[in-house]
């Protein structure tokens, strides 16, 4: 029987930080903890005090931060074999950080007891029991993570259950079944949890890894089998293939399964929280993530767009606003008139029927040449305006020259010289750069800032080059995608050519013209 309420236990700051390429500073961990608290998770695992000084520092700092919705948990292992719990350095450090909740992991798989701990089966059970009992005597809520539980159960169900009994008899508040290797299939998961529930009626949780791609499914299935405590990470961050993704689990529980875990207003912070954690982890957001990815509610096919325009339920499983997302209409060679009309409306443009036909034709011609406007809305708006005759040119190029030199010491130099005309007035200037594109960008801005001072606010946020046909070798056509930003917005522009400088120039010009266009609105 599934519970009415499910606890959310976030381990982004500990398990999530084990993901390749992620290392949180103490300041970042504190900011993420604040965001998780605002999201409404009930428990935030801050780290392992016995493993590194950074986690100890985090626990010191977080004591002075107002955390109202969540409890902070410290993580650690059971005592070592053949030592008193109160003398174990790991346990001492856990107590010193003073968290109200302590999560202890212990071995539930005989393979690990023999090959990793290299101790007796009975001693391992004593280690679990003694550690939980000691921490409870110190006034802590104690959660027992039964590491490798599902593998252990499949290998020796009697011993796996004995490991849970050792923690339960010592007073553990939660018995958390861990699929540490992430290899358990949903049907196995369901059957094993049901057998555990026959013996232990309360406080069952799960901690699932995603090595088989079923971590979210297994976590949700665990709830249907009676689990009331779910552990996971934001965006599924974690070692190897990652952990169960709370950004998917939370809306599944609340919207799909009707199980209370956070409030409606907190649910609307989900996208914001996902991207905030990405930013502090210095990771590029995964556009394909369910619910929170930028593509989750993006529509590209003309028939799909037409249907969504009439009734959003035709191609959307939920209202995107529930999780703080927004619907996005993409444009491509697959687009129909509905795509064009919706985008024009977003730009505040009124188009005639003949305009729509010309724009659609021009779009398909451009995409056939290699242009892609999904991430280049700046270029697409300019394309619409130019095709519909609703565009005024801001400057004319008289010409430019780019020089790349390498001196005898092997150092590279790039310089661009450019001449532009604005309202009949010419400006001729030059600039150096780290490469030819950087030099050209600097020279163009330098020439135009005299006429348009607001261009000083524009920064190049990203620059991508994609080879369209590798068979062409160094003469292959390339697509350049530029992402620019100012104080208020971020926009993308695109250029395509066999010449990388020409493609870059096209994207640079669109970027500047788009900025100037928005300045006039």
pLDDT digits (tens, 9 = 90+) for 392-442: 889 999 999 999 988 888 888 899 999 999 998 999 999 998 888 889 989
Q: Which uninterrupted H or E stretch holds 54?
A: helix 53-62
Lowest-confidence range among 37-46, 338-347, 509-518? 338-347
pLDDT score of 267: 92
The CATH superfamily assigned to 7-281 is Aldolase class I (3.20.20.70)
Q: State both tokens at 224.
A: 């249907």
Q: Which uninterrupted H or E stretch holds 517?
A: helix 500-520
Whole-angstrom distance, CA of residue 466 vs CA of residue 414: 22
Residue located via tokens 């003073």: 98
pLDDT tens digits for 439-455?
998 999 899 998 999 88
177 pLDDT above the threshold of 80: yes
pLDDT tens digits for 300-342?
666 666 676 677 777 778 888 888 887 766 555 445 566 677 7
pLDDT score of 472: 63
Q: Where in the chain is the domain with CATH 3.20.20.70?
A: 7-281
3 pLDDT above the threshold of 90: no
Residues 6+ apart with CB under 8 A from 392: none
186 pLDDT above the threshold of 90: yes
- Pick the residue with more confidence: 436 or 246? 246
Lowest-confidence range among 68-77, 109-118, 290-299, 387-396? 290-299
- The CATH number of the structural domain formed by 396-520 is 3.30.160.270
Arithmetic mean of pLDDT, 339-363 = 77
Helix ranges (H only) for 185-236 are 186-199, 215-224
Dihedral angle sign, alpha carbons of residues 152, 154, 155, 157 = positive
Helix ranges (H only) for 113-199 are 121-137, 149-155, 157-169, 186-199
- Pick the residue with more confidence: 61 or 367? 61
pLDDT score of 307: 72
Of 53, 12, 177, give the one whose Cα is nearest residue 108.
Answer: 177
465 pLDDT above the threshold of 80: yes
Residue located via tokens 């661009």: 416
Identity of the highest mean pLDDT range in 133-137, 270-274, 369-373, 386-390: 133-137
Q: Is 434 left (phi over 0), alpha (psi -120 to 50) or beta?
A: alpha
pTM: 0.71
1 pLDDT above the threshold of 70: no
> By the 8 A CB rule, do 232 and 197 touch?
no
Give the three-state DSSP class for 386.
Answer: helix
Confidence of residue 504 (pLDDT cuts 50, 70, 90): very high
Q: State both tokens at 67.
A: 């955390």
Identity of the highest mean pLDDT range in 291-295, 349-353, 373-377, 399-403: 399-403
Q: Where in the chain is the domain with CATH 3.30.160.270?
A: 396-520
pLDDT tens digits for 261-289?
999 999 999 999 998 898 888 887 888 89
Confidence of residue 471 (pLDDT cuts 50, 70, 90): low
pLDDT score of 141: 97
pLDDT score of 146: 96
21 pLDDT above the threshold of 60: yes
Strand partners, 205: 176, 229
- Pick the residue with more confidence: 229 or 69? 229
pLDDT score of 260: 86
Residue located via tokens 């801001």: 394
- Pick the residue with more confidence: 381 or 158? 158
Q: State both tokens at 111.
A: 């393979």
pLDDT score of 302: 62
Residues 6+ apart with CB under 8 A from 517: 381, 382, 385
pLDDT score of 375: 73
């Amino acid at each position: 029987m599934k519970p009415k309420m499910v606890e959310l236990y976030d381990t982004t700051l500990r398990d999530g930080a084990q993901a390749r390429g992620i290392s949180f500073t103490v300041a970042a961990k504190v900011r993420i903890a604040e965001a998780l608290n605002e999201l409404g998770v009930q428990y935030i695992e801050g780290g392992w005090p016995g493993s590194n000084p950074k986690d100890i520092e985090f626990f010191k700092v977080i004591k002075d931060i107002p955390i109202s919705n969540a409890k902070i948990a410290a993580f650690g292992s059971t005592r070592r074999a053949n030592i008193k719990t109160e003398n174990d350095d790991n346990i001492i450090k856990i107590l010193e950080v003073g968290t109200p909740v302590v999560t202890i992991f212990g071995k539930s798989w005989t393979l690990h007891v023999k090959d990793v701990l290299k101790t007796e089966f009975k001693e391992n059970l004593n280690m679990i029991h003694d550690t939980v009992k000691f921490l409870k005597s110190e006034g802590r809520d104690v959660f027992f993570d039964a590491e490798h539980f599902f593998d252990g159960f499949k290998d020796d169900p009697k011993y796996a259950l004995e490991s849970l009994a050792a923690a339960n008899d010592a007073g553990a508040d939660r018995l958390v079944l861990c699929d540490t290797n992430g290899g358990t299939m949903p049907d196995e998961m369901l059957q094993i949890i049901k057998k555990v529930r026959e013996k232990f009626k309360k406080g069952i949780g799960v901690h699932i890894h995603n090595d088989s791609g079923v971590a979210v499914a297994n976590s949700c299935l665990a709830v249907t089998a009676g689990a009331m405590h779910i552990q996971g990470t934001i965006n599924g961050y974690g070692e190897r293939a990652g952990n169960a993704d709370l950004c998917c689990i939370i809306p599944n529980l609340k919207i799909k399964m009707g199980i209370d875990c956070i409030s409606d207003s907190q649910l609307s912070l989900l996208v914001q929280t996902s991207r905030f954690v990405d930013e502090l982890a210095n990771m590029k957001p995964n556009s394909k993530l369910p619910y929170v990815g930028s593509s989750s509610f993006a529509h590209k096919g003309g028939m799909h767009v037409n249907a969504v325009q009439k009734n959003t339920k035709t191609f959307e499983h939920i209202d995107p606003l529930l999780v703080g997302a927004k619907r996005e209409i993409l444009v491509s060679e697959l687009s129909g008139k509905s795509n064009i009309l919706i985008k024009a409306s977003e730009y505040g443009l009124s188009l005639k029927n003949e305009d729509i036909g010309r724009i659609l034709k021009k779009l398909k011609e451009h995409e056939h040449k290699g242009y892609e406007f999904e991430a280049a809305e700046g270029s697409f708006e300019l394309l619409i305006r130019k095709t519909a005759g609703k565009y005024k040119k801001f400057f004319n190029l008289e010409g430019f020259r780019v020089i790349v030199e390498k001196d005898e010491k092997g150092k590279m130099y790039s310089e661009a010289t450019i001449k532009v005309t604005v309202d009949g007035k010419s400006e001729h200037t030059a600039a150096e750069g780290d490469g030819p594109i950087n030099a050209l960008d600097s020279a163009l801005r330098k020439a135009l800032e005299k006429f348009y001072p607001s261009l000083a606010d524009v920064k190049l946020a990203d620059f991508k080059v994609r080879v369209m046909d590798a068979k062409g070798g160094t003469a292959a056509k390339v697509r350049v995608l530029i992402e620019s930003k100012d104080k208020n917005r971020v926009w993308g522009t695109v250029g395509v050519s066999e010449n990388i400088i020409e493609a870059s120039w096209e994207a640079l010009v669109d970027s500047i013209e788009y900025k100037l266009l928005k300045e006039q609105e």
